[in-house]
Every structure is written in structure tokens, then in C-alpha cells.
Amino acid sequence: MPTHNSHLPAVRCAQDRTPRISSNDWRCSRCGALLGIHRDGLMHVSFARGHEYLFSYPATATCRHCGTMSQTKGPAR
Ligand SMILES: [Zn+2]
């Protein structure tokens, strides 16, 4: 994958000192690829070329790797 050094200012420092960020991951149920990150009650999904979206739950996205459509109803507990 090419290296993009585009630091988008749209997302403020949500990752700043956030512990256990892995527990906020939303991963593909089939291949485990990262689909999005739960933050502030919304699903933050980053697509290629810097497109970023915030979805309310339930959120649905298609895996970039295997094409499986996954749905999440909220952060895992
Ligand atoms: Zn997948």
C-alpha cells in the first residue's frame, strides 16, 4: 500500500492517550481486517483516499479485503 502522509485535520485527537484502543476496533467477522473504530457513540470508518465517515448504530460496511459485509450494533462489551 502506498504511503500517504496526508494528516487530515477533520478528526481531532481522539486517539490521544486513549487506553485499550483495540477494544474499540470493529473488525471483519471473516478475515479480521479493521473496518472502523468505535468512538463517542459513533462508528468511525476510514476509507481509502482519506474519505472518513461517522455512522450511527447499527453501522454496516463492506470489508476491503474479503468483501464480506459486516454490521455492528455498538462497541463490544
Ligand atoms: Zn474481511
Report pLDDT digits (tens) over 1-25: 666 666 655 555 555 554 554 678 9
Q: Is residue 2 part of a domain?
A: no
**Domain with 43 in it:** 22-72
Q: How far apart are the CA of 70 and the centre of ligand 1, in A?
A: 9
Q: Rounded distance, CA 2 to CA 74, Å?
A: 31
Answer whether residue 26 is part of any domain: yes
pLDDT, one tens digit per residue, over 38-68 is 998 999 998 778 889 999 999 999 998 999 9
If you measure from the C-alpha of residue 40 to the centroid of ligand 1, how many angstroms do you get, rounded to a whole number?
Answer: 24
Domain count for the chain, please give it.
1
- Distance (angstroms) between ligand 1 centre and the Cα of 59 equals 15
Residue 3 domain-assigned?
no
Q: What are phi and psi of 47, to 5 degrees?
A: -105, 175
pLDDT value at 28 more than 80: yes
53 alpha carbon – ligand 1 mean position (Å):
19
Residue 13 lies in a domain: no
Ligand 1 center to residue 60 CA distance, Å?
Answer: 13
